[in-house]
Amino acid sequence: MRQLFPVTDMTAAGDQEWSLDALADAYAYPEGDGPWLRANMVSSLDGAGQHEGRSQPLSSETDMRIFGVLRGLADVVVVGAETVRLEGYRPARAREAFAARRAAAGQGPAPVIAVVSASLSLDFSLPLFTEPLLPTLVLTGPPRRPSGSRPPVRRAPWC
């Protein structure tokens, strides 16, 4: 892997294997207060974000390593409901490699997973919901109702 920007002594070093600590330093949050948002994704050359319904086949070993570091540093990992459904998304786990950094930053042992879903059509028996180290959040908005329709009679038991 080679760092291209910003130009540093690592740029000229050429391709090399980066340690988790070196990657965590490279992807560390900026100094100072304020919320920070990171986005990470892979795509094919034609811009597709999935192959046969899954994103994992588009990822290289290096992509997955960086994804793991970003997850290890995050407070929250936001994931779409379709990814949860298709890829069997699992709960975040505490990783020893990031324990000291997380503790120094006042973070819990692992990031919270937040699932974004318009329909709430999720299998709540999956380990993501039944076995998380920290409770999984589900983010949704108000239901869309056709014009002139009546509100629902029942609410889901977890509401």
User: Which SS3 state, helix, strand or coil, does residue 39 take?
Assistant: coil
Judge whether 1 lies within some domain: no
Mean pLDDT over 126-131 rounds to: 95
User: Which SS3 state, helix, strand or coil, does residue 10 take?
Assistant: helix
Mean pLDDT over 117-138 rounds to: 94
Tell which wins on pLDDT, 126 or 4: 126
CA separation for the pair 155, 129 (Å, rounded) = 19
For 89, phi then psi, to 5°, come to -55, 135
Q: What angle do CA 46, 121, 59 make, to 5 degrees?
A: 30
Judge whether 121 lies within some domain: yes
Domain that holds residue 124: 9-31+39-139
Judge whether 104 lies within some domain: yes
Upper half-sphere CA count for residue 35 (Cβ side, 13 Å): 3
Judge whether 62 lies within some domain: yes
DSSP string, 80-135: EHHHHHHHT-------HHHHHHHHHTT--SSPEEEEE-SS----TTSHHHHS-SSP
Contact partners, residue 112, CB within 8 Å, separation at least 6: 75, 76, 77, 92, 134, 135, 136, 137
The domain tally of the chain equals 1
Judge whether 80 lies within some domain: yes
Average pLDDT of the chain, as a whole number: 83
Which CATH number covers residue 118?
Answer: 3.40.430.10
Judge whether 55 lies within some domain: yes
Judge whether 147 lies within some domain: no
Percent of the chain exceeding pLDDT 90 equals 41
Looking up tokens 């589900």, which residue turns up? 138
CA separation for the pair 19, 136 (Å, rounded) = 29
The pLDDT of residue 74 is: 93
> How many CB atoms sit inside 10 A of residue 98's CB?
23
pTM of the model: 0.75
Judge whether 4 lies within some domain: no
66-115 residue pLDDT tens: 889 999 999 999 999 998 998 888 999 999 999 999 999 899 999 999 99
* pLDDT at residue 132 tops 80: yes
